[in-house]
Amino acid sequence: MQKKYSPLKQFNLYWKEALRKKEPNAEYLYFATADRKKRPHVRTVLIKTVDKKGVGFVTQSLGPKTGQMRQSKYVEACVNWPKMKMQIRLGGKVAPMSNSVVKKLWKKRPREAQLLYSLGIPQSSPIPSYEYLLRRLSALAVQWRGKRKIPLSKYYVGFVIEPEMIEFLHHSQARLNLREHYRKTSKGWMKTILAP
């Protein structure tokens, strides 16, 4: 039993290291949800925040993953940083990101991305064509021309994965991977070493 050790803090350190070392996909988080039939869905999102609660990302409120998170809060996510020879899995529940953080992240978005969110077309819904999207986007850009700031779209939402499980896999050529597995309990994080 390791009471003080926080694998989430360790995750944050590794993430900063990945950014420093310019891992090609340092911010990519392969994020899995389940639908109501318990079928898994996995896709890439970008890590936006890491703090003592968990790992945050943003998405569109009308998309499938947001619906799936409403049905089941249990999710799993994975990063893979080859320069560091490391895979990290995070499992747990998602919680909404705080409004103040969502607002801060919104301000950093490029204007075009803000406009796209403001259109409110449900993410992953079929559209007539790519040109249709561009037309809708430029029509909205005309509407907003000259106006300084685009207000926070109600379709721009953030979630935080609050891990109950974290596994650091240190990859080794000979398949002799070191797998450090942590599970959160009422007494703190329990560490186990897993067979590669």
CA–CA separation, 66 and 97 (whole Å)? 13
Q: Among the candidate windows 3-11, 63-71, 74-82, 182-190, which touches ligand FMN by CB under 6 A? A: 63-71
State yes or no: residue 155 binds ligand FMN (CB under 6 A).
no
Spatial separation of the C-alpha atoms in residues 56 and 128, rounded to whole Å: 32
Rounded least distance, CB 33 to ligand FMN, Å: 7
DSSP bridge pairs for 40: 34
10 counts as binding ligand FMN under rule CB under 6 A: no
β-bridge pairing 40-46 and 28-34: antiparallel
User: Which CB, 60 or 114, lies closer to ligand FMN?
Assistant: 60
Among 61, 63, 73, 137, which residue interacts with ligand FMN (rule: CB under 6 A)? 63
- Contact flag: residue 170 with ligand FMN (CB under 6 A): no
Contact 68, 35 (CB under 8 A): yes
Q: Which of residues 94-133 bind ligand FMN (CB under 6 A)?
A: 123-124
Judged by beta carbon, residue 44 or residue 99, the one nearer ligand FMN is: 44
Report d(CA 130, CA 100) in Å as an integer.
33
Cα angle: 36, vertex 78, 113; to 5 degrees: 80
Task: Give the binding site for ligand FMN (CB under 6 A).
Answer: 28, 41, 43-46, 57-60, 63-65, 123-124
